[in-house]
Amino acid sequence: MDNGNVKDNGPGHATPPLRLLIVGQKRTGRSSVGNTLLGEDAFDTWGGAASAVAHGESEGRQLMVVDACGWGTNELIPKQEKLELFNALSLCEPGPHVLLLVIPLLHFSHSEKAVIQKRMEILTEGVWRHTMVVFTLGDRLRDCSMQDYIQTSGKDLQWLMERCRYRYHVLNNKTPQDRQQVSGLLDRAEDILMENGGWHFSLHMYCRLEEEWSRREREMKERMLEMQDRVGKNGRGLAGVSNHSRQGGLNVNDNLLKLVYHG
């Protein structure tokens, strides 16, 4: 269990802060999201600033908010951009509970999808378990529901929703005094934390897991090839197995799978 769980630890114990990492392209309203959450001008909104961290209390919750340096618009990721992303992660050690991926309520293009996909790949597949999309420019919805907007916005936005398991929240940075929208976002973030068993995102941990999965997959393939080779060498004998003997037990392929999965 994460030592930084945000559950109440009882009287006399300080509640650890909910750690939020805000990511996204430049000029999407990332820094404004951080300011809206904290209820103060904690982050520079002029653009071009390096990753920064701010602490505060919001809607009865202690928060640690990291505003990551904005991404570029090219699929090819510059080295400095990667370093900034890793720096943002280090600012909320041991790791963020939730990543807030900021997307404006505009047309979500295929190129934007590609940019996001490449950046999230740096953080491994596991990062999606901890990600919530925050749609800015919430005032653009007007009479349209968010569900209708998602359904009519094309397959690229559908892809994004599927990746983050339809965990999203709409925020209007023009009305930071509306604390109900902030409370709703923080409630959803805590739900995500609970869904992950109280664990934060750890790049190191997920990299180790991916290495272990790859190792096991290689071993399984090697064992499968070895068994297929054995079956091939004894093909003549196996071909002569009578229907009577097959009816009495598993066929060759069933035995092969059992050997592979159970050793």
Compute the average pLDDT of residues 99-128.
92
Compute the average pLDDT of residues 59-78.
92
Nearest to 150 by CA among 192, 107, 182, 180: 107
| Architecture of the domain spanning 18-201 | 3-Layer(aba) Sandwich (3.40)
pLDDT tens digits, 4-60: 555 444 555 567 899 999 999 998 999 999 999 999 999 998 877 789 999 999 999
Q: What does the radius of gyration of the chain's CA atoms come to, in whole angstroms? A: 24
Round to whole Å and give the CA distance between 115 and 260. 39
Q: Where do the CATH 3.40.50.300 domains begin and end in the chain?
A: 18-201
Could you give the C-alpha distances from 177 to 22, 194, 209, 261, in angstroms and in order?
20, 28, 42, 57
Could you give the C-alpha distances from 50 to 40, 64, 165, in angstroms and in order?
19, 17, 30
Compute the average pLDDT of residues 248-255.
41
Q: State the pTM of this model.
A: 0.75
Residue 143 pLDDT grade (very low, low, confident, very high; cuts 50, 70, 90) = confident
Number of residues that make up the chain: 263
